[in-house]
Chain A
Amino acid sequence: MHWWFPGDGNAYSTLGGKIDDLFYLILVIVSVTFVGTSAALGYALWRGASIKSDEKVWFSHGSHSLEVIWTIVPSAVLLFIALYQLDVWAEYRMKGFAKEKDGSPKVITVVAEVTARQFEWRIRYPANGKPLKPTPQPDDIYSVNELHVPTGGLVSITLRTDDVQHAFFVPMLRVKQDAVPGKMIPVWFDATMPGKYEMLCAELCGWGHYKMKAMLVAQSADDFEAWKDKASAEQFDDGYRKPAE
C-alpha cells in the first residue's frame, strides 16, 4: 500500500522539495530520539522487572549533571531545528515582498485571482498581456474549479474568499494558505512540471467542505497563453459570425 506523500512521493514545486527535505530531516532526528528514549525506557523497565528481591533500589533524588546534559543537548538540537527552518519559510511567505539586490522591487507575475466560496473556486485571469487589476475588468477571463498556471518560475495568485474562511491546498505542490474574509493574500509558488494537480479546501467551511474539488493545471508559458486566448474567445463568443463572402 502507498501510505506516504501523494502521487509518486515527489513534490512538484521547488518549495515543496525543500519542505520535503526539512520533513525528512526532522523525521531522522525524531526517529533517532524515539528509538533512543524508547530503548532507555524499555531497558529501565526490564531492569526494574528483573531486580532481585534482596537487591536495593537505586535511592537517588536525581543528578545535577545529568539534568544539565539533558537540558543543553535537546535545547541545542531544538534550536538548530528551529533556526534551520527559517529560510524556507521566509522564501515562501516573505521574500516576495523584499526588494531585489539592486533595489528594484521584486516581480512575481500575478496570474490570477482565486476566490473561494461555498463550495467552489472562482478564478479570474487578466487578458493576455495585461496585469491583474484588483477590480474586475471587462476583458478578464473566468474559470471555475480549474486554475491554470504557467510552469517555469514563480507565479503568484491573489487569494480571497467571498464568504467564510477557506484554505487553498495543492498537496502535490505542498502549497497551503487560508483564504480569510476581508483579506487579499498573495500566494506564490512554482510548478516544476506541466500536469494536473488536485486542489482542495483545507479549512472547515461548512457542510460541503469536502466537495471543493478543483484542479490546478500547470502548462508551459506558451500553452498557458494559448489556453487564455482560447478561453477568452469562448467566453466572449456571442455566436455572431460574419456572413460568408
Chain B
Amino acid sequence: MSTLNPTIDHADHADHGGHGHDHAHAHKQSFISQYVFSTDHKMIGKQFLITTLFMMMVGGALALAVRWQLARPWERMPIFGDMVFGADGGQISPDAYTMLFTMHATVMIFLVIIPVLAGAFGNFLIPLQIGADDMAFPTLNMLSYWFMWPAIFLFGASFFMYGGGPAAGWTSYPLLSLLREAAPGSGDAQTLWLLGLTFVGVSSMMGSVNYMTTIINMRAPGMTLFRMPLTIWSMFITAILQAFALPVLTAAGFMMVSDRMLGTCFFVPSGIVVNNAAPTVGGGQTLLWQHLFWFYSHPAVYIMLLPAMGMVSDMLACMCRKPVFGYKPMVYSMAAIAGLGFIVWGHHMFISGMNPALGMTFMVSTIMIALPSAIKTFNWIGTIWGGRVQFNSVMLYCIAFVSMFIIGGLSGIFMAAVPVDIYIHDTYFIVAHFHYVIFGATLFGVFGAIQFWFPKMYGRMMNETVGKIHFVLTFIGFNCTFYPMHMLGIAGMPRRYADPYHFPYLEHLLPLNQFMTASAFLMGMAQFLLLGNFFYSMYFGPKCGRNPWGANGLEWTAPSPPGHGNFDVLPVVYHGPYEYGSPVSGDKDFLMQTEYVPLAQRVAAEEHH
C-alpha cells in the first residue's frame, strides 16, 4: 500500500488500498461508500463526532433523571418519568436510580468522552496534521467506527432485559454485578453490558493500532517527531496507553462473562449466600476484578484527558498568537503522565481491603502524577503570557479548560492522600473531582475543538455569538452544579444514594441539591445551543477559506473541507507548529509549517533582534 511510504512522488500513483483514486480529485462515490461505510478518515471522524454528540445528550438525560431524584426524592418526574416509569407512577424507584447512574457513566465514558477524543478528533486530525492522505489502515478505521454500534445496541438493549438495565455502577464490582440474585439489573442486562464493553474495547483498539502506525509511518517529509503538533503527540501517547491497558480490561470482562455464564469462579469466593440463593462454590477473589478493572480504567482517565490537553495547547497558541511555551516539556510531561498513569490504579482501592502497605506506594505515585499536570498548567499560562489574546469562543473554552483543570487537579490531591481519602472516599467529593476533570477540562476542550476545527470539517464557520452564549451558560451551569458537590462530600454524603435525606445528618443538604439540579438543567438545555449551532452552521454558516484562524498546522494548507486524499499539494514541513509572531514571518503573525523562509531572511531577522 503506497500510503505507507510517504514519498514526494507518491501523489502520482496513489493507490488507496486498490480503489485507485487520485488525490483530492473530485470523484463520484455512492452514498453508501461516502457517508455510511466510508473509509475516509474525515468522514469517520465526523461520524464519530455526531454519534458522540447525540450520545452526550442521552447521557445527559440520564444524569438529569439522577439529579431529579436528588432534588425531589420519590416525586413524580414529569414527562420523562411518566414515559419511562409509568408503572411506578412516574417515580424513580431505587433500583431504577442505580440503573440511571450506572448507564449515565457508561454512556458518558465509553460512548462520549473516549470516542469523541480518539475517535472523532483523532481520526479527523491525525492524517491532516501530519500531512498524510489518510490513515494507514482505512478499512480498519471504518470498522473501528462500526464496532461502536454493536456496543450502543447492547447497552441500549440492556435496558429492556428482565429486571431493568445494569445497576452495579460503571465499575461493576463483583459480586453485585456477578451473581444474578444480587440485584435486579445483574441478570442478562449485566451480560449485555459486559459484551458492549468488549465491543467498545475492540473499537478503541482498532483505532489505537491505526493511530500509532499512521503517526510513525506516514508523516509528511520534514515532519520530524518534534515538529508534530501537541495534538498529535497527545493522540500518539493516548494510543500507546490504550494499546497496553485495554487488553487487561477485555480479559477481565471475559473472565466475568465466563464467571456468569460458564460457572468459573475467577471473582467468586466460596460460601457466599446472596438473597437466599445456594452458596457459591468459589475459590476466587473479588479484589482481582478491582485490580484488573482499574489497571485499565485509571490509564483510561488519561485517555480521556490527554488528547484534550494536546488540542487545547494547539488552540491556545493560535488564539494567543504566540508559540506554545515549553513545547518539549509539554511532550515529556504527557509522556510522564502516561508512564505514571500505569502505576497509580491502586488509589481507587485505598479502603478496598488490599494490603495497606500498597496504599503507601500508590499514594506517593499518585501524588507525584500531579507534577506533570502542574508543569503543563504552568506552560499553558506561559503560553498565554505576553500574547495577543483573541477572546473568541474557542479561547473561552480553552480558558475554561485550563482553570477547571486547575480545580480538578488540586481537588485530586485530597483523595490521593490516603488518610484524607478514608473519609472522602465514595462521597460526593470524588464525584465533584472527576466531573471537574472529565467535564470541566475534557468536555470544554472538546467544545473548543469543535468550534476551532469545524471550518476544516465543513468549510463553514460556526456562529460565534451562539458559541459564546453556549459557553457562558455551560460554564455557569457547570460550576453551580459541580462545585457544591465538594461541599456535599465534605458533609459526608455518599455517592450512589437514591435518598440521602434518609439520614438525619444529610437532611439539611436538600436545598443545596435542589440548586444544583436547577443548574444541571440549565447546563443540559444549553447543549441544544451547541447542537443547533453545529447543524445550522453545517449548512448555513458563512463559508471560509483554507485558513480562517491564521493557524500554522498542515491541516490549514488543505482545502476546507479537504477532498478525498486531503492535500492538493503534498505538504513539506520546514518548522515546528507554533511559529506565531515569529520575526521571520514577514508582515503576518503566523508562519505555516509548509512555508519556507530562505536562510538569508532568517539570518537578517536574527541579526535584527
Interface, chain A (partner B; CB < 8 A): 1-7, 15-16, 18-19, 22-23, 26-27, 29-30, 33-34, 37-38, 40-41, 44-45, 47-49, 51, 55-63, 66-67, 70-71, 74-75, 78-79, 81-83, 85-86, 88-90, 92-94, 118, 162-165, 167, 169, 171-172, 174-183, 185, 198, 200-211, 213
Extra pairs beyond A74-B374, A210-B500 (5, CB < 8 Å):
A47-B385, A59-B322, A89-B419, A162-B272, A164-B175
Q: Which residues of B contact A1 (CB under 8 A)?
A: 508, 511-512
A80 to B245, CA, bound (A): 30
Q: List 13 A-B contacts (CB under 8 A).
A: A5-B491, A33-B410, A41-B406, A51-B389, A59-B582, A63-B325, A63-B326, A71-B371, A118-B182, A163-B182, A163-B273, A174-B423, A182-B269
Q: Which residues of B contact A47 (CB under 8 A)?
A: 385-386
**B31 sits at the interface (CB 8 A):** no
**Could you tell me if A5 and B490 are in contact, using CB atoms closer than 8 angstroms?**
yes
9-residue interface stretch from B34-42, B133-141, B349-357: B349-357
Other-chain residue from B282, B356, B371, B417 in contact with A75 (beta carbon distance below 8 A): B371
Residue on B with the closest CB to A85? B417
Other-chain residue from B169, B329, B403 in contact with A62 (beta carbon distance below 8 A): B329
Q: Which residues of B contact A201 (CB under 8 A)?
A: 494
Min CB gap B348→A, angstroms: 11
Min CB gap B444→A, angstroms: 14
Residue on A with the closest CB to B176? A164
**Could you tell me if B322 and A4 are in contact, using CB atoms closer than 8 angstroms?**
no
Please give the number of chain B residues whose Cβ is less than 8 angstroms from any Cβ of chain A in the complex. 111
Other-chain residue from B182, B273, B399, B417 in contact with A45 (beta carbon distance below 8 A): B399
Given the known inter-chain contacts A5-B491, A59-B582, A60-B323, please indicate yes or no for A200 contacting B406, CB distance below 8 A.
no
A56 to B497, CA, bound (A): 56
Q: Which residues of B contact A56 (CB under 8 A)?
A: 581
Other-chain residue from A26, A169, A182 in contact with B285 (beta carbon distance below 8 A): A182
**Could you tell me if B419 and A58 are in contact, using CB atoms closer than 8 angstroms?**
no
**B367 sits at the interface (CB 8 A):** yes
Q: Which residues of B contact A175 (CB under 8 A)?
A: 422
9-residue interface stretch from B48-56, B209-217, B358-366, B469-477: B358-366
Q: Which residues of A contact B500 (CB under 8 A)?
A: 210
**Could you tell me if A176 and B353 are in contact, using CB atoms closer than 8 angstroms?**
no
Q: Which residues of A contact B410 (CB under 8 A)?
A: 30, 33-34
Residue on B with the closest CB to A73? B374
Given the known inter-chain contacts A41-B384, A82-B367, please indicate yes or no for A49 contacting B391, CB distance below 8 A.
yes
Other-chain residue from A60, A82, A90, A176 in contact with B386 (beta carbon distance below 8 A): A60
Contact with A along B242-282 (1 / 0, CB 8 A): 00000000000000000000000000011111110000001
* Residue of B384, B391, B418, B581 with most partner-chain A CB within 10 A: B418
**Could you tell me if B426 and A176 are in contact, using CB atoms closer than 8 angstroms?**
yes
Q: Which residues of B contact A57 (CB under 8 A)?
A: 320-322, 386-388, 580-581, 589
Q: Which residues of A contact B303 (CB under 8 A)?
A: none
Q: Which residues of A contact B381 (CB under 8 A)?
A: 37, 40-41, 44
Min CB gap B319→A, angstroms: 9
Q: Which residues of B contact A203 (CB under 8 A)?
A: 173, 426
**Could you tell me if B175 and A61 are in contact, using CB atoms closer than 8 angstroms?**
no
Contact with A along B400-427 (1 / 0, CB 8 A): 0011001100110110111110110111
**Could you tell me if B368 and A79 are in contact, using CB atoms closer than 8 angstroms?**
yes
**B15 sits at the interface (CB 8 A):** no
**B479 sits at the interface (CB 8 A):** no
A174 to B357, CA, bound (A): 20
9 closest A-B pairs by CB: A182-B269, A58-B386, A48-B389, A93-B356, A171-B492, A62-B326, A207-B95, A3-B487, A210-B497
Q: Which residues of B contact A82 (CB under 8 A)?
A: 363-364, 367-368, 416-417
Interface, chain B (partner A; CB < 8 A): 93-95, 97-98, 167-169, 173-176, 179, 182-184, 269-275, 282, 285-287, 320-329, 351-353, 356-357, 359-360, 363-364, 367-368, 370-371, 374-375, 377-379, 381-382, 384-389, 391, 399, 402-403, 406-407, 410-411, 413-414, 416-420, 422-423, 425-427, 484, 487-488, 490-492, 494-500, 502-506, 508-509, 511-512, 578, 580-583, 589
**Could you tell me if A75 and B352 are in contact, using CB atoms closer than 8 angstroms?**
no
**Could you tell me if A19 and B581 are in contact, using CB atoms closer than 8 angstroms?**
no
**Could you tell me if A26 and B420 are in contact, using CB atoms closer than 8 angstroms?**
yes
* Residue of A44, A63, A71, A90 with most partner-chain B CB within 10 A: A44
**Could you tell me if B167 and A37 are in contact, using CB atoms closer than 8 angstroms?**
no
Min CB gap A25→B, angstroms: 9
Q: Which residues of B contact A92 (CB under 8 A)?
A: 419, 422
**Could you tell me if A89 and B377 are in contact, using CB atoms closer than 8 angstroms?**
no
**Could you tell me if B182 and A211 are in contact, using CB atoms closer than 8 angstroms?**
no
Other-chain residue from A59, A185, A210 in contact with B323 (beta carbon distance below 8 A): A59
Other-chain residue from A51, A163, A198 in contact with B504 (beta carbon distance below 8 A): A198
Q: Which residues of B contact A169 (CB under 8 A)?
A: 426, 494
Given the known inter-chain contacts A19-B420, A85-B418, A182-B269, please indicate yes or no for A204 contacting B169, CB distance below 8 A.
yes
**Could you tell me if B375 and A70 are in contact, using CB atoms closer than 8 angstroms?**
yes
A16 to B492, CA, bound (A): 13
Min CB gap B565→A, angstroms: 33
**Could you tell me if B352 and A180 are in contact, using CB atoms closer than 8 angstroms?**
yes
Q: Which residues of B contact A34 (CB under 8 A)?
A: 406-407, 410
**Could you tell me if B182 and A49 are in contact, using CB atoms closer than 8 angstroms?**
no
Min CB gap A172→B, angstroms: 8
**Could you tell me if A78 and B420 are in contact, using CB atoms closer than 8 angstroms?**
no
